[in-house]
């Protein structure tokens, strides 16, 4: 379903949990796009479709990602894209979250946050994921480049709002 497959969890006393997932040989979408410069438009379109399929699967299960960006999309050896980066994800309707995590991510992810999220809304909504998906598409078209790469925090907020 274009979602990173969880194989297991490692828990050691007095240590954080670690997840064990399948290996995605090409790394993050951003790294892959920067390394594989020979990808053609149909390949890029397929990557967008892969991410869309992953979001469709998550949303169909009632899960909003809340942290979708190119660094959280991983690319397998065959260039198939899967959504990962679930550390701060949540269930759209019922998950409890630590507000400090949301705001710590905000500066780094400003370009990927939907306007309603920048206005104080919940990033763990499917609508917000769709805006983030559009920004991932921008990253794909820019071959790993972030949306508004040189914009200041204030300019980026103005671009989004």
Domain spanning 24-160: which CATH class is it, in words? mainly alpha
pTM of the model: 0.82
Q: Tell me the domain boundaries of the chain.
A: 24-160
Mean pLDDT of 47-72: 95
Q: What are the angstrom distances between the C-alpha of 72 and each of 18, 31, 83, 120?
A: 16, 11, 6, 23
Could you tell me the pLDDT band of residue 88, with boundaries at 50, 70 and 90? low
Q: Is the pLDDT of residue 101 over 70?
A: no
Mean pLDDT across 85-94:
55
Which one is predicted more confidently, 106 or 93? 106
- Count the Cβ atoms, other than its own, within 10 Å of residue 160: 20
Name the percent of the chain lying above pLDDT 70: 83
Extended beta strands in the chain, E state: 6-10, 18-21, 63-64, 73-75, 81-83, 90-91
């Amino acid at each position: 379903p274009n979602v990173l497959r969880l194989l297991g969890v490692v828990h050691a006393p007095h240590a954080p949990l670690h997840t064990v997932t399948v290996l995605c040989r090409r790394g993050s979408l951003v790294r892959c796009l920067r390394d594989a410069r020979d990808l053609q438009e149909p390949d890029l379109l397929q990557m967008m479709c892969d991410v869309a399929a992953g979001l469709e699967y998550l949303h169909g299960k009632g899960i909003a990602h809340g942290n979708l960006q190119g660094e959280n999309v991983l690319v397998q050896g065959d260039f198939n894209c899967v959504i990962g980066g679930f550390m701060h994800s949540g269930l759209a309707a019922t998950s409890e979250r630590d507000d400090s995590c949301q705001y710590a991510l905000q500066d780094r992810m400003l370009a990927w946050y939907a306007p309603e999220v920048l206005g104080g809304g919940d990033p763990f909504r499917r609508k917000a994921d769709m805006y983030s998906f559009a920004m991932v598409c921008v990253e794909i078209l820019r071959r790993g480049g972030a949306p508004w790469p040189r914009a200041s925090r204030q300019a980026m907020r103005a671009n989004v709002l």
